């Protein structure tokens, strides 16, 4: 059902007719979230809003919240829209799209903070901060996300947390339109002392409005906040080389990059703690990349050779050594008449390779995969649900421990395999 016409008119009077819509296709576009299926029983759509409004400033946000209270409508704000977190949880709520509020209000070089609005993105803030010898924490979700949303309403951890902490730790003063429409200014801002401190005088309010990991937009709307910045002695503008997806920037002379591996997670944890405790780390990023079995060699060539791009993938895949890898994986079928077609099929698209470990794992994985011919596979198995036919049956699984060992050796080095040591929970019988 649509929101009442009187309510729509009240919201339109606040933001103007060009900044509000209840057009169905637009509402569906806002409702679509690629993670929604985790909450919506398989659907990729969150509950559809009754209308979307685009406020331009704090006063309009306050008026919208008060109008929603007057007409008994729920409302929720979204800034850069990463994931489903800021989507309405009920039908016909009012979705506040904060994209018009995208200003960096101030960068205080002396006190090292920036005051920003909700739709300032990390990349923009970082670029402007570097011009004055400062830098900002960048969350793991990337530079296209909102530092304000991460600091006030979620939990932003990233590779540079080793040096700059997490988003909540970098939150200073904030301007908050509470669910009743009142405006609360927290920290030093609330006592007229400016933006420089997130706590006091008196009890801290950060724990009230964000808790441990934030409320994801469910407790009013944050319209401004101050973010702590950090020293940057590198270039004011980072030079960019190459083209997507392989654009790079040379490391400044003050920074060295190291690739380090550990044989176990305990070593990784302990080493990072020592790096942090000695103030020598700036960024620590754990990267795991898995390419499909027929593309692994080709993709590695692309990543490691600056002259190669994704456009060279077809040429690399056609090389004899790439063909040889696919043939080795399926050598047990080499004398079969379908072998040439199988190899050709395996080279047509990316694959994902994984190693599973557990009691009776070969049989269990094959039960999950299903029979070779989709029509003969049990309902709910991968091949029954997704395969086209017996030849293009979408997934492969080792048929014995011996085959598994051989195939794992083709695709993985020993350093890429992790074995769970404590098997008590795997071996114990359910009570």
75-78 vs 94-97, strand pairing mode? parallel
Q: According to the model, what pLDDT value does residue 409 have?
A: 76
- Domains of the chain by residue range: 5-97, 104-231, 296-416
Catalytic status, residue 396: yes
291 vs 124, which has greater pLDDT?
124
- The pTM (predicted TM-score) of the whole model is 0.67
The pLDDT confidence band at residue 208, using thresholds 50, 70 and 90, is confident
Among 246-250, 257-261, 278-282, whose mean pLDDT is lowest? Answer: 257-261
Q: Per-residue pLDDT averaged across 110-133, rounded?
A: 96
Query: Given a cut of 80, is residue 229 above it in pLDDT?
Result: yes
Q: Per-residue pLDDT averaged across 135-147, rounded?
A: 92
Q: According to the model, what pLDDT value does residue 289 have?
A: 47
Do the Cβ atoms of 104 and 116 come closer than 8 Å?
yes
Q: Per-residue pLDDT averaged across 206-220, rounded?
A: 81
Q: Say whether 104-231 and 5-97 share the same fold.
A: no
Among 4-18, 237-251, 356-370, whose mean pLDDT is lowest? Answer: 237-251
Euclidean distance between CA atoms 404 and 364, whole angstroms: 14
- CA dihedral 128→131→137→140, nearest 10 degrees, is 70
Q: Which residues contact 345 (CB under 8 A, 6 or more apart)?
A: 391, 392
**Sheet containing strand 94-97, strands side by side:** 20-21, 51-53, 94-97, 75-78
Please state which of the four CATH numbers 3.30.465.10, 3.40.50.300, 3.40.50.720, 3.60.20.10 is assigned to the domain occupying 104-231: 3.30.465.10
Euclidean distance between CA atoms 345 and 363, whole angstroms: 25
Catalytic residue selected from 85, 137, 333, 396: 396
Q: According to the model, what pLDDT value does residue 113 have?
A: 97
> Across all residues in the chain, what is the average pLDDT?
82
Quick one: fold of 5-97?
3.30.43
Phi, psi dihedrals of residue 255, rounded to the nearest 5°:
-125, 135
Q: According to the model, what pLDDT value does residue 148 have?
A: 95
Q: What is the CATH number of domain 296-416?
A: 3.30.70.141
238 vs 34, which has greater pLDDT?
238
């Amino acid at each position: 059902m649509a929101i009442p016409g009187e309510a729509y008119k009240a919201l339109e009077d606040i933001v103007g007719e060009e900044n509000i819509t209840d057009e169905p296709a637009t509402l569906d576009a806002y409702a679509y979230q690629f993670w929604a299926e985790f909450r919506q029983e398989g659907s990729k759509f969150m509950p559809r809003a009754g209308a979307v409004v685009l406020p331009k400033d704090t006063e309009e946000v306050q008026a919208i919240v008060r109008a929603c209270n007057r007409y008994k409508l729920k409302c929720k704000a979204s800034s850069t829209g990463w994931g489903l977190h800021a989507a309405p949880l009920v039908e016909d709520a009012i979705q506040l799209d904060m994209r018009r509020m995208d200003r960096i209000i101030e960068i205080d070089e002396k006190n090292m903070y920036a005051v920003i609005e909700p739709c300032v993105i990390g990349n923009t803030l970082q670029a402007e901060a570097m011009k004055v010898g400062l830098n900002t924490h960048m969350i793991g979700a990337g530079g296209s996300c909102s530092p304000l949303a991460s600091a006030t309403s979620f939990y932003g951890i990233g590779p540079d947390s080793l040096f700059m902490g997490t988003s909540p730790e970098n939150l200073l003063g904030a301007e908050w339109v509470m669910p009743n429409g009142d405006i609360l200014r927290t920290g030093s801002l609330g006592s007229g002392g400016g933006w420089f401190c997130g706590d006091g005088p008196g009890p801290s309010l950060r724990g009230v409005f964000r808790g441990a990991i934030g409320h994801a937009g469910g407790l009013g709307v944050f319209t401004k906040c101050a973010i702590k910045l950090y020293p940057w002695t590198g270039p004011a503008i980072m030079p960019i080389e190459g083209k997507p997806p392989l654009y790079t920037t040379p490391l400044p002379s003050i920074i060295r990059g190291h690739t380090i591996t550990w044989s176990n997670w305990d070593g990784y944890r302990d080493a990072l703690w020592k790096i942090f405790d000695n103030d020598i780390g700036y960024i620590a990023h754990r990267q795991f990349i898995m390419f499909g079995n027929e593309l692994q060699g080709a993709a590695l060539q692309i990543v490691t050779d600056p002259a190669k791009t994704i456009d060279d993938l077809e040429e690399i895949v056609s090389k004899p050594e790439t063909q040889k890898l696919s043939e080795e994986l399926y050598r047990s079928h080499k004398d079969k008449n379908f072998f040439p077609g199988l190899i050709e099929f395996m080279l047509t698209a990316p694959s994902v390779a994984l190693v599973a470990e557990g009691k009776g794992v070969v049989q269990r994985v094959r039960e999950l995969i299903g029979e070779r011919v989709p029509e003969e596979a049990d309902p709910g198995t991968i091949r029954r649900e997704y395969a086209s036919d017996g030849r293009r049956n979408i997934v492969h699984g080792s048929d014995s421990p011996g085959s598994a060992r051989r195939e794992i050796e083709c695709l993985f080095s020993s350093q890429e395999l992790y074995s769970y040591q404590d098997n008590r929970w795997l071996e114990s019988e359910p009570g």
